[in-house]
Amino acid sequence: MPELPDLTVYLERIEAHSAGTALRQLRIGNPFVLRTVEPRREAFAGKRLLGTRRIGKRLVLDFEGGLHAVIHLMILGRLRWAKPGAALPKSGGLAAFDFERGSLLLIEHGKKRRAALHLVEGEAALAQFERGGLEVMQADIAAFQAALARENHTLKRALTDPRILAGIGNAYSDEILHRARLSPFKQTQGLTAEETGQLFAATRMVLEDWTQRLRAEAGSGWPEKVTAFRPDMAVHGRYKLPCPDCGAPVQRIVYADNEANYCARCQTGGRLLADRALSRLLHDSWPKTLDEL
């Protein structure tokens, strides 16, 4: 799922390409994507795009007349900029915003249709999309500490829970925890003041660093390769590959539909975290440390 750095660059490029211009029409390629009935999509025709914003992992396009288009890309949804009036792909083409200088296409890869488009009117209507998570890039360490301490969760869960922190998902949570040198399964209420400071700094640094990288990659064009797996990441998606800081093989824990990637030497003092499936299967044969592995 695209996360804060990817979404930030998407919004910046949308504004660069179409802010201040009128929407000629909004086309719907798959009726499933449109989750609202009022206002009707025809109401957006002729309205200028005033600006964009992000609510958690949702993208908001603000139009004249208090109209808003809210896009949730989910896991495989992507945005593409094309020539004016470009045809939607037959497979995965969900919607198109036709502006004067080009068309913003909402597409979704794969067979499942999870991406969503909500059309709403009025600022108050946007409140339904707020999950309550803290915007870390706009917060101080006191607010960050308070958000983490409200409930006791693993750091991995806390970073990815939109009710606690906004805009962070599986990929960047792995990178943040590696930068902070903290175990993904350490409990939030067990953090020392020093560890909280490390995590706060790492969160801001990773998000800012990757936003700058993706911004430079897109340049004056469009972010074409929005993916959670990048070769220059430290641990995410790099199972068994060497940690860039210490050279130890990156470890992985798979749970439900998700996974956590970490470096045992950098983050857990050389201790391997128990993978539910493998550790139950191997019992006493499950290696407890990097040396045993």
Domain presence at residue 291: no
Domain presence at residue 293: no
Q: Is 175 within 8 Å of 198 (Cβ atoms)?
A: no
Confidence at residue 254, expressed as pLDDT on a 0 to 100 scale:
87
Considering 91, 106, 129, which residue would you say is the last residue of a domain? Answer: 129
Sites in the chain below the pLDDT cut of 50: 278-286
| 63 and 108 fall within a common domain | yes
Domain presence at residue 220: yes
Domain assignment of residue 260, given as a range: 136-285
Domain presence at residue 106: yes
Confidence at residue 276, expressed as pLDDT on a 0 to 100 scale:
54
| Distance, CA of 15 to CA of 50 (rounded, Å) | 9
CA dihedral 183, 144, 211, 76 (to 10 degrees): 70
Read off the pTM: 0.92
Instruction: State the DSSP H helix or E strand holding residue 101, giving kind and residue range, or none if neither.
Output: none
Considering 97, 113, 129, which residue would you say is the last residue of a domain? Answer: 129
| 123 and 140 fall within a common domain | no
| 115 and 249 fall within a common domain | no
- Helix H segments across 150-289? 155-160, 170-180, 193-218, 264-267, 276-282
In the three-class reduction of DSSP (H, G, I as helix; E, B as strand; rest coil), residue 205 is classed as: helix
| 269 and 171 fall within a common domain | yes
| 141 and 118 fall within a common domain | no
Domain presence at residue 22: yes
The number of domains in the chain is 2
| 11 and 92 fall within a common domain | yes
Q: Is 124 within 8 Å of 41 (Cβ atoms)?
A: no
Confidence at residue 101, expressed as pLDDT on a 0 to 100 scale:
95
| 36 and 160 fall within a common domain | no
- Exposure string for 168-194, b = 16+ CB within 10 A, e = fewer: bbbbbbbbbbbbbbbbbbbebeebeee
- Pair of tokens at residue 169: 């998902």
Considering 111, 129, 147, which residue would you say is the last residue of a domain? Answer: 129
If you count DSSP H runs as helices and E runs as strands, how many of each does the chain have, helices first?
Answer: 7, 10
Could you list the beta-strand ranges (E) of the chain: 23-28, 49-55, 58-63, 67-72, 77-82, 93-99, 103-108, 116-121, 251-255, 258-262
Q: Is 57 within 8 Å of 73 (Cβ atoms)?
A: yes
